[in-house]
Amino acid sequence: MKKELIKSKSNFNNPLKKTPFYEKFSSQMTQGYWYDWSGYKAASIIQDQELEYFAIRSTTSLFDISPLIKYRIKGKDTEKFLNKLTVRNVILQKNNTVQYTLWCNDDGHVLDDGTLFKFSEFDYRLCCQERHLPWLLDTAIGFDIELFEETDLVAGLSIQGPTSASVLNNAGLSIINTLKPFDFVTIKKNILISRTGFTGDLGYEIFLPNQLANNFWDKIWEAGKYLGIKAIGFNALNIARVETGFIVANSDFITAEHAIRNNRTRNPDEIGLSWMVDMSKPFFNGKDAIVKIRKNNLSKYVFAALEIDGKEPADGAIIYHDKKHEVGIITTATWSPTAKKSIALASMKLPYGQKIKSNLWVEIYALRELEYYKMMKKVSIVKTPFVKLKRRTLTPPLKN
Amino acid sequence: MKSYDVIIIGAGHNGMAASIKLAKTGRKVLILESSSEFGGMASSNILLNDNVNQPLPHLINHLCSKSIKDLDLIKYGLKTKNFFIPSISVDKNQNYISFSGSYGSQIDGIDSNEKANWEKLKKRMFFQANLLKKFLYKSPINRENNSLFDKLDFLKTGINLRIKGREEFQEFFRMMLMCVADILEEEINNDLLRGLLAFDATLGINLGPRSPTSYMGLLYRLAGEFNGAQGAQIFPEGGIPKLIETFYKSSTSAGVEFIFKNEAKNLIFENNKVTGIKTQNGEEFFADIVLSSVSPIKTFFDFIGPQRLDTGLLREIKSLRYKGNVSKLNLLLNKIPKSSFLSNEQLSARITYTPSINHVEENFNPSKYQQLPEDPNFELLFPSIIDETNINDNGIIASIIIQNTPYSLKDGWDSSKKLLYSKIMLTLEKIFPDIKKSVLASKLISPLDIETIFNVPGGHWHHSELQIDRMYSLRPVFKYSSYRTPIHGLYICGAGTHPGGGISGKSGINAANQIIKDQKQNNHYYEKRID
Amino acid sequence: MNSQHKNYDVIIIGAGHNGLVNACYLQKAGLNVLVLEKNDWIGGAAVSRELTPNILYSNCSYVCSLFRPEIMRDLELPKHGLQIIGIEGGTTFTQDGRYLANYRNYHSKRREMARFSVKDSEAYERYSRDVTRQCRFIQPLLMRTAPDPASFKSKDIGEIFYLIKQFNELSPDQMAETIRFWTMSISDYLDEYFENDVIKASLALSGIIGTALGPMSPGTAYVLLHHYMGEVDGSIGSWGYARGGMGAITQALSSSFKSFGGELITESEVENILIKNNQAKGVALKNGNEFYSSNIVSNADVKRTFLKLVDDKFLPPSFVKKVKNFKIRGSSGKVNIGLDSMPDFPAVPKGDPCIKGDIHFTDSIERMEKAYDDWKNGTWSKDPFLDMMIPTATDPTMAPPGKHFMSCFVQYCPPKVYGKDWTQEKKEAFGETVIKQIEDYSPGFREKIIHMEIRTPKELEDEVGLTEGNIFQGELTFDQLLFNRPVPGYAQYRSPLKGLYICGSSTHPGGGVMGAPGRNAAIEILKDLKKPTSHARSAYEVI
């Protein structure tokens, strides 16, 4: 141990690590739009953002999800531990399924959201955006479990789009035909395929040991050759996820351990995830607080999905009631190429967005050749998803 | 099915104090005690030999008139010696000062100049301690108790402080967080007097006199009073066991039931609401309210359990500093020892070996690194000399409290005890040349022993460190400083809660008041709910 | 006796950075200001001096972060040549041959910590959030005069309400956090976040630099905050070098001062302040000269000002007693070294920028605390804590190519050794302790030394005039902060004597090369003189 530490390389010149798929993505990249995803080099755009979006919605897209933080939790008390940690009841989760979940701090404020893969009642994988080791280890006090991070051991690839099932079939993975949404299957060489994704479209996510990454890519690439397969960056994915109404931590809400300022943290009800909180299960982190919040109506914000007049994107815009009072802020906005609408996710101050849903406006400043067009656009509150696709849930999946 | 209104865990002074308050309101109260005796850390289950025992504490300085009245202690036999126990601060060269009355109202061994200095300082300290005193008898202000009415106390204190004049007002805010050494060095010159005060300020906590905030330790001590005499240390007739007995008698007379030798093991709770206690031998007792007077570490970790604690709270409990640093040495002597410079009468004083501030500080230094001091400071009392009723045929007891002897030692306690004993004897021989020969029996109790004997994690006198960052609203932790816990109906009242140490029953009384108030108001906190 | 009849509106004693900041603001307001400096150079403890040919030494203060950007802007210091450059790295060497580097990049830094403890590397996130919260709370208070809580003046009451409002904006939990933070030891505080000794030691050091407390003394968490609340271009907590050494700050100030028309005279040590009818009248110099003004501002610390420069008889005894009780404790020394070439640190890979920042050899809190115990006993630490920097690795203007200036801040070092004065022999032994520690981690270091200057608190006192050589002009314990600094009732830069002011680090908000005391004092003086203060902008908003 000691020797290894002495010899360890300087960390200053490689702040961002490369993922197992790095070579594959970078070889296709034409402009070098990289960004920092939890300390890994991840692509924003591979070649063309719009075309990449259309790959998601009309053919097959490949997106590198290796930087997802992955924790493995094993042992006798795994379920008890996860039931204390998260707000959903993991005992109700079936083996070989994925659960979208979140976890809270003492005050019932959301620490992060993530997905939970259940291999068995003694073996789970938790995937999330941020690192939470201290919180997880402290939560584990009193439970007989083993918990470790396997981000660097497991590569991830998201294969999304209407032809994705066909691509996988071409690659000899017909086993996916029986997968319903949120199911997963582990095939030989420890390759895990789940029917999940962040696009609201037909799609699969593959988790596999690092050393298999290159070969697996090649196989999929070959299989998708005539099915419009395309490597994509985050920007395209981001449009698809807004169309679906998915929120992203530290973009649509601030996670509780990051918030420096007062009142920036949010409880599950305030970010539209109240359905997740299972009050019928025994104690979990934040339960006491959430009971109190609900009983005394202490929630101050509400999550809203908005359709905005016109076509200008409204990122970060302020929402007004009656064009006068500030009642909220848009957290993410985009033009939806599929719905042909300007859409947005927003956080609104109660009672606006819940009891008061009309006469809402956003103020958009559109900079065009060094002059601002200042607009008040009418918004209406709608239900997510903005784009609903039947193929997302059809089992067996549609093939092309 | 054995059903009560309130079950109290632990028959220490706080548990018993709470039981008296609660039983007097007509509640049916049970006290569960794991040992065979009442009194907790003040109980007499430390045997010197077959016939003699001497409990850990030997003096009281925090049993305020209000506690005595509230708990009817006089009615049940509390008598005290009709004098306050003086302190004599000695060094190894036969110098000493004698510090008597209610906290040094008389001092012998210093010149008149120094006396004037002391009077001035004392007056100021008494004033400041008095301001803080009223907060000892209340649930602290916190997230739950923060009405305007609660805050009024602060305003009132502020006004009281301000009308005392600009100087006092300023000095209060300046001195509050200072180290005791600086204050003493500003005002007085006598090393023995400074040493004594430095010792008093830091006894029982992990601070040296040069650690900022250590002055608060002295104020805390001075916030105690007896019959209006501030800072007075008294010796109950018959010793501490007799005092504890008055608690017990008052408690039983109020109708409290005691069960001994039955250790509370698990809390029974359903729907987040406490329903009772399961004991080690499998018995179950039921009540809507359980009040734990044991250490918060134990309450939160053993009774509630880490699995039931929000992780943030768990972190805080885990970070409580709960390791004690005070040891006790009890000696049984075959005769009254003869001092080379103290008169026989002076042996009924508390004799402290506190030569100077630096000496106390130097003793504190090794304790930071889990080592024993070179030349330990201690206080010595001869209970059998102070109180004839305490004399028995077996001999004379010397009760010694040794400072800065940490819970965990790098060399381990087994091998260190002998060393510590010989170090103490070395100093004692400078005062009582023949003492070594007259020792019939001796018993050294380290913080580690306190942990095992009294079931207090860390063996800390105050259950958890009594420093400013863990006082008042921050004791034991901010969220649960009103004697409540995350489990509805489970309350805490040990020394780990506000106001903390000293045999005073204050934490118990405050907790009982909180319970009564919560039940009366049918406080949201107390309401049943379905999980 | 030689007296100068030119009348000044204000005379400032001492051309330290606070004195100069004060002078600039006053001169800029149209007053006629004279600054008197006892040395033949200016700058007090913010100087760059050529102690050996061609190498500039920041031989007192050595890094800058706290200097307020508002002041730099008000006084146009960039125009007068001041540049602050961010520091690139930092490292803590361990006794077993490892090192923990500190980089500016978030992930590089996290991965470094993860080499010692993965849990701690992530706990750092929560720790830095909590400390940032405290910084945000304290920052707006730096550029305001502390209120006098005992006063009933509307100004003071208003200011107290401002403080209460600031505090009330915190959530209840954060209030509790804040109270705990201000009263805890840095060691206990770090224990609540971290498990690894090296990581704890590398963070604890800011809690003790310049103070006569050990990491286990309550109150050191606040001292850490005092070092963290600075900023370089908006990045809170980061430190920088002044291009050309710390003297660049005072040079820019003096140039700014002169550009406003101020007058500065060096080699003019003030013997005493002339008082008549409870009113300052002027100063008498050691050389016999006298200068007259009814407003005297002292940049010296509060003890030197009122116990040495003013005769006791002019001051109320209770005030004198309070000043005597003010705690100024010399606890640190410095060893300044000119180097023939960059020292090697075999533990660190070649080219790693971490040695361009602060270098430490103390890898556990226990070692720091033991160093403090030595000081308490009356001597210098046998295993001292060093805060070592090589500014020339970043700033090439200070030394010829290849040559370097190295600044070693040494903690702890007393103003007297076992109550006796320093001798040459002891001084050398002290220097040797330091060299030896460095040599343990940098073999061959000794051979690279061209020149060395050993400074104990005594030198600092003799030369710069800081009582006991305390770099903060007074301990940063709670009893000496805010409205208690320097003494209760006189925390608003005034004194019991009309027209006599103090503006050094003895006053709120305290030491570090911050400039805020000088600026705040100027505002109070201008208010007394009924002059406009609009040229002193208020603190930048913290949002």
For residue A9, what pLDDT is reported?
67
C356 lies in some domain: no
Higher pLDDT, A47 or B63: A47
For residue B530, the chain A residue with the least C-alpha distance is A280
For residue B486, the chain A residue with the least C-alpha distance is A288
Average pLDDT, integer, range A208-231: 96
A268-382 and A15-68+152-244 share a CATH fold: no
Q: Which residue out of C94, C104, C121, C125 would a mutagenesis test of the A interface target, given it has the greatest number of A Cβ atoms within 10 Å? A: C125
B284-292 and B2-9 strand pairing? parallel
Domains: count for chain C: 1
Alpha-carbon distance C375 to nearest alpha carbon in chain B (angstroms) = 12
Q: Do B368 and C192 touch (CB under 8 A)?
A: no
A153 touches chain C (CB under 8 A): no
pLDDT tens digit string along A82-108?
A: 999 999 999 999 999 999 999 999 999
B177 touches chain C (CB under 8 A): yes
Question: Among partner residues B177, B207, B478, which is closest to C478 by beta-carbon distance?
Answer: B177
Q: Do A141 and B314 touch (CB under 8 A)?
A: yes
Question: Which subunits sit against A, judged by 3+ Cβ pairs under 8 A?
Answer: B, C
For residue C470, what pLDDT is reported?
93
Question: Among partner residues A9, A149, A257, which is closest to C126 by beta-carbon distance?
Answer: A257
Q: Take residue C397 and report the two structure tokens written for it.
A: 């203007």
Residues in Cβ contact with B230 at an 8 Å cutoff, skipping those fewer than 6 apart: B102, B103, B126, B129, B130, B222, B224
Start-to-end CA distance of chain C, whole Å, equals 57
C295 lies in some domain: yes
Residues in Cβ contact with C434 at an 8 Å cutoff, skipping those fewer than 6 apart: C335, C384, C386, C408, C410
CA B301, chain centre distance (Å): 22
Q: Which residue out of B301, B302, B308, B310 would a mutagenesis test of the A interface target, given it has the greatest number of A Cβ atoms within 10 Å? A: B310
C16 lies in some domain: yes
- Dmax (CA) of chain B: 72
Q: Do A288 and B312 touch (CB under 8 A)?
A: no
Q: Domain limits at C520?
A: 3-48+65-84+244-326+472-528
C454 lies in some domain: no
C521 lies in some domain: yes
The fourth-level CATH superfamily of domain A268-382 is Aminomethyltransferase beta-barrel domains (2.40.30.110)
Residues in Cβ contact with C512 at an 8 Å cutoff, skipping those fewer than 6 apart: C65, C66, C226, C227, C230, C472, C505
For residue B47, what pLDDT is reported?
72
For residue C2, what pLDDT is reported?
52
Distance CA C144, CA C139 (A): 10
- Give B314's contacts in chain A (Cβ within 8 Å): 138-139, 141
For residue A4, what pLDDT is reported?
44
Distance CA C51, CA A141 (A): 58
Q: Above 60 in pLDDT, residue A2?
A: no
Q: Take residue B354 and report the two structure tokens written for it.
A: 């506190």
Task: Please identify every stretch of chain C with a pLDDT value under 50, giving residue numbers as ranges.
Answer: 1
Instruction: Give the E-state strand segments of A32-182 in sequence order.
Output: 33-37, 40-45, 60-64, 69-74, 97-104, 110-120, 123-128, 146-149, 154-160
Question: Among partner residues B272, B311, B529, which is closest to A139 by beta-carbon distance?
Answer: B311
- Give C173's contacts in chain A (Cβ within 8 Å): 107
pLDDT tens digit string along A243-263?
A: 999 999 999 999 998 899 988
Q: Do B306 and A106 touch (CB under 8 A)?
A: no
Question: Among partner residues C180, C183, C188, which is closest to B177 by beta-carbon distance?
Answer: C183
Fold of domain A15-68+152-244: Gyrase A; domain 2 (3.30.1360)
- Give A106's contacts in chain B (Cβ within 8 Å): 310-313, 479
A258 touches chain C (CB under 8 A): yes
Nearest residue to A351 (alpha-carbon basis) of A397, A396, A393, A297? A297
* Helix segments in B320-476, DSSP class H: 357-368, 383-386, 413-431, 447-454
CATH number of the domain at C73, please: 3.50.50.60
Return the CA Rg of chain C: 23
pLDDT tens digit string along A325-377?
A: 999 999 999 999 999 999 999 999 999 999 999 999 999 999 999 999 999 99
Sheet strands side by side (includes C99-101)? C99-101, C90-93, C358-360, C385-389, C404-411, C332-339, C449-455
Residues constituting chain A: 400
Q: Do C118 and A149 touch (CB under 8 A)?
A: yes
Q: Do C218 and B213 touch (CB under 8 A)?
A: yes
Distance CA C227, CA B118 (A): 38
| Cα three-residue angle B340-B345-B347, rounded to 5 degrees | 65
C381 touches chain B (CB under 8 A): no
Q: Which of residues 149-168 of B touch C (CB under 8 A)?
A: 162, 166-167
For residue C88, the chain A residue with the least C-alpha distance is A12
B198 touches chain C (CB under 8 A): no
In words, the CATH class of domain A69-149 is alpha beta
- Give A80's contacts in chain B (Cβ within 8 Å): 307
Average pLDDT, consecutive stretches of 10 residues, N- to C-terminus, chain B (531 residues) = 91 96 95 93 78 87 88 91 89 94 90 95 95 89 82 89 92 95 96 97 96 95 88 89 94 96 92 91 94 96 94 96 95 92 93 97 96 96 83 84 96 95 96 94 94 93 94 94 94 94 91 93 50 38
Mean pLDDT of chain A: 94
C115 touches chain A (CB under 8 A): yes
Count chain B–chain C contacts defined by CB atoms under 8 A: 89
Interface list for chain A against chain B, based on CB atoms closer than 8 Å: 80, 84, 105-107, 135, 138-139, 141-143, 279-280, 282-283, 285-289, 291, 295
Domain boundaries, chain A: 15-68+152-244, 69-149, 268-382
B327-333 and B439-445 strand pairing? antiparallel
For residue C231, what pLDDT is reported?
79
Residues constituting chain C: 543
C231-232 and C33-36 strand pairing? unpaired
Alpha-carbon distance B525 to nearest alpha carbon in chain C (angstroms) = 18
Question: Which subunits sit against C, judged by 3+ Cβ pairs under 8 A?
Answer: A, B
For residue A290, the chain B residue with the least C-alpha distance is B531
Count chain A–chain C contacts defined by CB atoms under 8 A: 70
Question: Among partner residues B142, B167, B211, which is closest to C218 by beta-carbon distance?
Answer: B211
For residue B365, the chain C residue with the least C-alpha distance is C373
C257 lies in some domain: yes
Tell me the domains of chain B and their CATH numbers. 2-41+241-321+463-520 (3.50.50.60), 112-223 (no CATH)
ipTM of the complex: 0.94
C505 lies in some domain: yes
C111 touches chain A (CB under 8 A): yes
Q: Do B313 and A106 touch (CB under 8 A)?
A: yes
C199 lies in some domain: no
Could you give the count of Cα atoms lying within 13 Å of B152 in the half-sphere of its Cβ?
Answer: 4
B468 touches chain C (CB under 8 A): yes
Question: Among partner residues B171, B212, B361, which is closest to C376 by beta-carbon distance?
Answer: B361
Alpha-carbon distance B269 to nearest alpha carbon in chain C (angstroms) = 28
Query: Strand, coil or helix: what is A124?
Result: strand
For residue C458, what pLDDT is reported?
94
Alpha-carbon distance B103 to nearest alpha carbon in chain A (angstroms) = 45
Alpha-carbon distance A257 to nearest alpha carbon in chain C (angstroms) = 6
For residue A1, what pLDDT is reported?
34
Q: Do A258 and C129 touch (CB under 8 A)?
A: yes
B368 touches chain C (CB under 8 A): yes
Report in angstroms the alpha-carbon separations of B175 from A16, B212, B215, B437. Answer: 51, 10, 8, 47
Q: Above 90 in pLDDT, residue A7?
A: no
Alpha-carbon distance C183 to nearest alpha carbon in chain B (angstroms) = 6
Q: Which of residues 61-120 of A touch C (CB under 8 A)?
A: 107
Of all helices (H) and strands (E), which one includes residue C302? Answer: helix C302-303
